[in-house]
Structure 1
């Protein structure tokens, strides 16, 4: 049996109330969800926390998946949102308890290049969302979620040309913010 067909069968069974199918589905999704969360969060423990939140969200809202777009795409949306939510929560917590604030820009002497880039990207995604909220999801799904343009169009229920335009505009914004000499910081 094709792995995607097998997952689709598990989804249908879990949606019908089969607890064993739901359990098996979540076990199979765990590596994908952790990978998606790791694309955002620089520390494995944080990515694991976000992945657990995402798996819980998937289990609670599986009945809401109506087949618009791919199941993998739907999972990617949830994982991406949970990873970004985990980062925001960590940031708020550090501000509330008076801990050293999360850096606006990573210090290259104490932060790996990959971790610093992810922190900068999360800040940039928040700025993109504040300025152009309709550009965030297409960008995240394409460049971080690695979905095709067609999958994104189906998930977001948008024409393909609109998806491509939004991704182009988002990439332009992100590039301008992530350049070391950018004046936007």
Structure 2
């Protein structure tokens, strides 16, 4: 009788496991305090760069293989680091305004990985849905993972997210006031 009860218990445990399906990927929360997001934007007469903070984020793994990710950026923290004083205040204010990211009405942006393909030992080609100002568009970028750190670099065409101020693609005769459509993001994550 004890053997039958034990056999029944094993059958229930292993049967329930089989019904439950495969174990979910390992989700690793990103340390938002130690992670950085740096932006760089270009204009005819030079460039500006700065930082923006992650509000939350996680990477998903199957063993040591990257399988997914999701991030929320706090747009209210957009900050210029190459300027000081009045120039910095003016540019920071302009970036928060409706000419650029409308941070009062769009305080966050997000990125959700939709496809991850290994592209080498520690590198991946990732496609994801990037949402800025409530507009979602696909982006493709590279991610490298080493231990508990990851780095991603991407180019973003701001005009796809209704950020057209100073764009030569939409306005004529801007001359040296033209701001290029693409800006760079470099993301260094710790998890």
TM-score (norm 2): 0.29
User: In proportion to residue count, which structure has more helix?
Assistant: 1
User: In proportion to residue count, which structure has more strand?
Assistant: 2
Name the larger-Rg structure: 2
